[in-house]
């Protein structure tokens, strides 16, 4: 059983479109992170959300932490080919351990 479920697992859209990917759990997390991973590289941290209902923006990316701190979403406006990659969410479980979702593989077509 996956602790963090990401959806969709695969998403392919045209440049300029908007998209939202989701990270859901039945567990409460003290913090949740989003990473982007490109082929042949390690994950790179995009953002950490800590407070229920928190919204953070990173240029065209908007991250939201659910009020109950069980879920999160990532919204990208006007997607660009450079946004292509694997997006991973991760929640802090207990002390000193991160649990990852299975990722959303995003492809932005020019």
Partner 1 sequence: DTAVSQTPKYLVTQMGNDKSIKCEQNLGHDTMYWYKQDSKKFLKIMFSYNNKELIINETVPNRFSPKSPDKAHLNLHINSLELGDSAVYFCASSQVPGNWDEQYFGPGTRLTVT
Given the rule CB under 8 A, which residues bind partner 1? 2, 31, 33, 37, 40-45, 48, 86, 88, 90, 92, 95-98, 100, 102-103, 105
- Min. distance of Cβ 86 from partner 1 in angstroms? 6
For partner 1, the closer CB: 44 or 78 = 44
42 burial (CB, 10 Å; 0-12 / 13-18 / 19+) is exposed
- Min. distance of Cβ 84 from partner 1 in angstroms? 14
CA angle in degrees (0–180, nearest 5) for 75-76-82: 145
């Amino acid at each position: 059983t996956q602790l963090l479920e990401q959806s969709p697992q695969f998403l392919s859209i045209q440049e300029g479109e908007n998209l939202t990917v989701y990270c859901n759990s039945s567990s409460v997390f003290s913090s949740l992170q989003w990473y982007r991973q490109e082929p042949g590289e390690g994950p790179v941290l995009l953002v950490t959300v800590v407070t229920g209902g928190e919204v953070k923006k990173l240029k065209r990316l908007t991250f939201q932490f659910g009020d109950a701190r069980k879920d999160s979403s990532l919204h990208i406006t006007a997607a660009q080919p450079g946004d292509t990659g694997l997006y991973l969410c991760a929640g802090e479980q207990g002390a000193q351990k991160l649990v990852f979702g299975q990722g959303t593989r995003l492809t932005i077509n020019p």
